[in-house]
Chains A and B, each alone.
Chain A
Amino acid sequence: MNYIEPHGHMVSRTTDDYERMALAGCQAICEPAFWAGFDRASAQGFYDYFRQITEYEPKRAARYGIAHYCWLCINPKEAEDVQLAEEVIGLIPEFLNRPGVLGIGEIGLNKNSRNELRIFERHLQVAQDHDQLVLVHTPHLEDKLKGTRLIVDALKNFSGLRPERVIIDHVEEHTIDHVLDQGFWAGITLYPESKCTPHRAIDMLEQRRAERIWMNSACDWGISDPLAVPRTMQEMRRRGWSPEMVRHVVWDNPAAFMAQSGKFALA
């Protein structure tokens, strides 16, 4: 069955991964801008990174019949350096009109600091000013609950950003209701140890009737699995899900959210 990978950091993956994902039925990958595993020294480093994910990765993906889209920002891990963050935010508008750019992301919080929050709000302003979709990263582990609450509170201050145009990613059992009940979309990330397993993801999908939720691998430079979505599709079938409902989660939902950008289109 075909599927969409709505959150993968392909700059960190090999071309073999593209091939394996294509063989598993992947038709589109969406790549949020993120941390490269180290702090970049200058805004120029981000300029080249934005060129990489808007120009080069789409070509690499196309060789395997996969459409490639991306999101732009400076991620929260590098937001503690406010001056650098401001410079990078200044670069974003010139890339927003490129064909595969879906919006601003993945922005959010990491350690729930004042500077992270300030830079998060600066990005929200850019998204509001340029009428962009927003993809939000929530913090890891013990920081997730507090960060998710701070993020939801900050979003409510931007009346121009409608909740149905914002997805809050990496939700778990203790944050999913808060996100969905406020009208936002939620992302469930299938990632070893620090996030969610296939069965927990399916539990949450069943609890919330798979409404306004997508599922992703967030594969990146860490130990992670680019095939986490098709593996979870297999578990869904073992748990008695119909092909239509599997497709609803791995195709209809992400396509519906991203189509709001006006740029996302698949056959």
Chain B
Amino acid sequence: MKSWTPPQSVNLADLGFMDARSKLIDLAAFLDRVQRAGQEGDFRVQALKRAIGLLSQEAPGRAREVLLSFSDPSSEPVAKAAMQGAIGACPP
């Protein structure tokens, strides 16, 4: 509906702050955990750290930028599907 204006009266911090806070602490603890285990060199952890850097951008669009940073940047189809699942970050 082109003419529709999304609601603006709700306090979104009231609704979402505790959930976001909890997820951030979980993320911090995850980084601590892999570091203590000497596993921070894993390409997925490295990809996560690069993505965290994108959160400090000023413009809205952080979710999009984070998703882009985890994405395969190539454009040609691969010769054969080597596996059926996906990993979440691009292997080096």
CB distance from B57 to the nearest CB of A (A): 14
Task: Tell me if A173 and B84 are in contact (CB < 8 A).
Answer: no
Task: Tell me if B86 and A141 are in contact (CB < 8 A).
Answer: yes
Cβ-neighbour of A110 out of B2, B70, B84 (below 8 A): B84
Cβ-neighbour of B63 out of A111, A113, A115, A173 (below 8 A): A173
B92 at the interface (CB under 8 A from A): no
CB distance from A154 to the nearest CB of B (A): 10
Note all chain B residues with C-beta closer than 8 A to A220.
Answer: none
- Cα of A240 to Cα of B10 in the assembled complex, Å: 6
Note all chain A residues with C-beta closer than 8 A to B21.
Answer: none
The interface size of chain A toward B, counting residues with CB under 8 Å, comes to 38
Comparing A59-67, A83-91, A203-211, the segment that makes contact with chain B is A203-211
Cβ-neighbour of B15 out of A112, A149, A238 (below 8 A): A238
B58 at the interface (CB under 8 A from A): no
* Chain A residues numbered 144-162 whose CB sits less than 8 Å from any CB in chain B: 144-146, 149-150
Closest to B63 in A: A173
B41 at the interface (CB under 8 A from A): no
Given A173-B64, A239-B10, A239-B15, is A139 in contact with B75 using a C-beta cutoff of 8 Å? Answer: no
Given A139-B86, A145-B71, is A80 in contact with B80 using a C-beta cutoff of 8 Å? Answer: yes
Note all chain B residues with C-beta closer than 8 A to A80.
Answer: 80-81
Task: Tell me if A113 and B86 are in contact (CB < 8 A).
Answer: no
- Cα of A227 to Cα of B64 in the assembled complex, Å: 26
Note all chain B residues with C-beta closer than 8 A to A113.
Answer: 77-81
Closest to B20 in A: A199
- Cα of A70 to Cα of B21 in the assembled complex, Å: 41
Task: Tell me if A111 and B83 are in contact (CB < 8 A).
Answer: yes
Cβ-neighbour of B84 out of A77, A117, A194, A211 (below 8 A): A77
Task: Tell me if A144 and B71 are in contact (CB < 8 A).
Answer: yes
Task: Tell me if A142 and B87 are in contact (CB < 8 A).
Answer: yes
Task: Tell me if B81 and A110 are in contact (CB < 8 A).
Answer: yes
Closest to A204 in B: B63
Q: Mark B1-40, 1 if CB is under 8 A from A, else 0.
A: 1101011111010011000000000000000000000000
Q: A113-B81, A245-B4, A248-B1 are in contact. List 12 more A-B contacts (CB 8 A).
A: A111-B78, A113-B78, A113-B80, A114-B77, A114-B80, A142-B87, A142-B88, A145-B67, A145-B72, A146-B73, A210-B1, A211-B1
Identify 9 residue pairs between A and B in the complex whose beta-carbon atoms are under 8 Å apart, listed by A's number.
A110-B84, A111-B78, A112-B72, A140-B86, A142-B70, A142-B89, A145-B67, A145-B72, A149-B75
Interface residues of B (CB under 8 A from A): 1-2, 4, 6-10, 12, 15-16, 63-64, 67-68, 70-75, 77-90
Interface residues of A (CB under 8 A from B): 77, 80, 110-117, 139-146, 149-150, 172-174, 194, 199-200, 203, 206, 209-211, 238-242, 245, 248
Q: Which 7 residue pairs spanning A and B have beta carbons closest together? A: A240-B7, A111-B81, A206-B6, A141-B86, A145-B71, A174-B67, A140-B86
